[in-house]
Amino acid sequence: MSLSIRLTLFFTVIVLLVTAILSSVVFYEFQNKIKQQIRLNLADAAEHKAQELQSVLQFEKTNLMAWRASSVMQDVIVDDLDKRISTELLGLKNYYALQGDLYVFNAAGILIASTQPEVTGQKIPAAWVDNEDYHFAFKHRVPFISGHIVAHAAALKPPQLPVRGLLVLTHAWDDLNRYFQPDQGYFALFKDDGTQAELFTETGSETLALSQDFSAQKVWQIADKAYLGAISKPLVLDDFSFRIAVFSQESSAREPVRQLIFELIIAAISVVLPMTLVAMWLSRHFVMPIKRLTVAIRHIEHSNDLSIKVPVKGRDEVANLADAFNIMTTNLSEAFSRREKVEKELENLNLSLERQVDERTSELQQALAQLKSAQSHLVQSEKMVSLGQLVAGIAHEINNPVGAIYANMPVLRDYVQDIESALNLATECCNAIGETRLQDFFQEIDYEFIRSDLRELINSQQQAAERIRNIVLALRNFSRLDQGEIKSVLLEEGIDCSLQMLHHQYKNRIDIQKDYRLNTPVECYAGELNQVFMNILANAIQAIPEQGVIRISTARHGDQAVISIADTGTGMSDEVKAKIFDPFFTTKDVGEGTGLGLSISYGIIEKHHGKVEVESELKVGTCFTLTLPLHLSKGA
């Protein structure tokens, strides 16, 4: 696409864009003004209709309060009941051309007179009962009147005395419809303490849901059509507060808008066409000199001769452009010369950089070796922490059997001395008298008890000594001096050694359940794997605050050994589980853990070309699954 066409399109788009923006602003403002004026008109209509309805209801109330003061109604107060009451009610209805009916109830709530004689004897409806002097009942039903009604109720009573009767004026709900029949749109009666309104239509009334904030709703959907609405101020009739809402079809605001749109389109066409022609002429006027300049530039491009200059004519912007191009070619020629010089210098710098890279690489290799050494020290540090825990456990475990041996030794010494004395005495006494003395001495020292108890003491010391031997053996197996070498060992022995070391932490509290099905030697660094078992088992024991179970199982899956250690502890959240193998991450209190145990364990399993899987659920428990190759050389 040529530059002239692009300039023409650019100016045309600018004109169209400006015209569209102005038209949109005018259209939006005009539409809002129309809707605003319609809402103002609707608000005036709502206020007028509300005042009209209030006047009607107030007129009925005033008449009702005047009628109850008549002499006939005073007879009701003093229980002087006769046919004059019904005659009076019929006369009032005919004289005032009442649309509804009048009812009189006595103090017992029984209908004693009415403009409908056939309903006499009915009980007063609950909607009409009120302790106030006057009461207005909104839309409701009563058993002896068909359809919905509204009612005015005035109490019949002497001053400062209880109610002796009730005078009621009713008004059929459908009769209110004649007050709400506009030429277009709808009226709605909105009770001020609710969120529903009575919508009056050509066929009657229906319920309409209204928002408490009426002004917040811009458009209403009534009978599948959009309406604009406005509502009056609250009007009060005694204890009854109401408002009138008026609705008009939104389409009434669209006709002037459609006319405005048509006029805006005509105006836009009248502006765009002349501006497009002007843009075409201007684009050609500016583009032709540029085309001539382009031909000269391409000649320089094909000849690759920067000494060629573009002819400069005139003093306009195009001439300035040609002059600038000539200066640029001169500068480029000089720049090429400088570039060759810089390239040579750059080549020398590259050689120097390669030497520096070699030196830095050597330094990095040294740093890596130092890092590996530091990592090894870190592993040993963590193991020392574990060994510290072991020493505390061993001291606790050895103390019990040693204490038993120490406590039994004095008793055993006394027993042996008594036995020696008895034997000596038996030697001295060979006659009958000596035998008697020997028997007396045996009874004195309870010789038979000593003999039996001596066996138990010897057995107790033997068991304690056996316990000490097992603990020392487990410690020796756990610490394994050959841990730096690959050995074929039974993993179950390492697990049992770790449990032996941790016995004091879980005894009488945690049930250890074993399911050993591997029972096959595994090539590994035994000491390092013992450290892994110790870390996982110690964490499992600490995760069980009181009573619980730890299940340990081993199995063989093909050329893989699988070890599972599951506990019924507190479990972990997903956030904690994602970080447990991070160095220095711990959930324990300060001083209780380094946060390196599981991180180092993870590294040991990776060193054995295995993998660690963790499953955990809060308040349920955690399961660690270790998978290791049976032959470390094959798994490499």
pLDDT at 635: 46
Per-residue model confidence (pLDDT) at position 306 = 67
pLDDT at 330 over 70: yes
17-21, 392-396, 484-488, 521-525: which has the highest mean pLDDT?
521-525
Q: Is the pTM of this model over 0.85?
A: no
pLDDT at 622: 96
Mean pLDDT of the chain: 77
pLDDT band at 85 (very low <50, low <70, confident <90, very high): confident
Alpha-carbon distance values, 459 to 412, 417, 456, 477, 628 (Å): 12, 19, 5, 27, 43
CA-wise closest residue to 251 among 41, 46, 38:
38
Q: In the chain, what's the furthest Cα-to-Cα distance? A: 161
Q: How far, in whole angstroms, is CA 501 from its chain's centroid?
A: 45
Structure confidence by residue, pLDDT tens digits, 206-232: 666 666 566 666 776 676 777 777 777
**In this structure, what is the dihedral angle of CA atoms 236, 62, 86, 170, given to the nearest 10 degrees?**
-20
CA distances from 383 to 72, 112, 534, 608 (A): 111, 104, 10, 18
pLDDT at 134 over 60: yes
At CB < 8 A and 24+ separation, what contacts does 320-325 make?
321/290, 321/293, 322/293, 322/296, 325/293, 325/297
CATH 3.30.450.20 fits 60-175, yes or no: yes
Return the pLDDT at 274.
Answer: 75
Please state, in angstroms and rounded to a whole number, the distance separating the CA atoms of residues 294 and 306: 15
Q: How confident is the model at residue 135 (pLDDT cuts 50, 70, 90)?
A: confident
What's the pLDDT score for residue 481? 44
Which residue shows structure tokens 């006659």? Answer: 431
The gap from C-alpha 376 to its chain's centroid, in whole angstroms, comes to: 44
Report residue 554's pLDDT band, with 50, 70 and 90 as the boundaries: very high
Q: Are 114 and 105 in contact (CB under 8 A)?
A: no
pLDDT in tens, 229-288: 777 777 777 777 777 777 777 666 566 666 666 666 777 777 767 777 776 666 666 666
Report the distance separating Cα 306 and Cα 302, nearest Å: 11
From the list 236, 239, 240, 191, the residue with the least C-alpha distance to 212 is 191
Model confidence at 553: pLDDT above 80: yes
- Rounded CA gap, 491 and 494, in Å? 5
Greater confidence (138 vs 624) lies with: 624
Distance CA 582, CA 587 (A): 12
Smallest CA-to-CA distance from 127 within 151, 108, 104 is with 151
pLDDT band at 13 (very low <50, low <70, confident <90, very high): confident
Cα–Cα distances (Å) from 328 to 270, 310, 325, in that order, read: 46, 11, 5
If you average pLDDT over residues 20-30, what whole number do you get? 70
Comparing CA positions, the residue from 114, 81, 83 lying closest to residue 98 is 114
pLDDT in tens, 339-353: 878 888 888 888 888
Split at pLDDT 50, 70, 90, the class of 27 is low
Confidence of residue 185 (pLDDT cuts 50, 70, 90): low
**DSSP string for 531-551:** HHHHHHHHHHHHH-SSSEEEE
Mean pLDDT of 199-210: 62
Query: What digits encode the pLDDT tens for the residues 589-606?
Result: 665 666 778 888 898 999
Give tens-digit pLDDT for 496-515.
988 988 888 898 899 999 99
pLDDT tens-digit series, residues 33-58: 767 777 777 778 778 877 888 888 88
> Radius of gyration (Cα) for the chain, nearest Å?
55
Confidence of residue 583 (pLDDT cuts 50, 70, 90): confident
Instruction: Indicate whether 323 pLDDT > 70.
Output: yes
For position 563, what pLDDT does the model report?
Answer: 96
CATH 3.20.20.70 fits 483-635, yes or no: no
The band of 186, judged by pLDDT with boundaries at 50, 70 and 90, is: low
Q: How confident is the model at residue 373 (pLDDT cuts 50, 70, 90)?
A: very low
Residue 377 pLDDT: 44
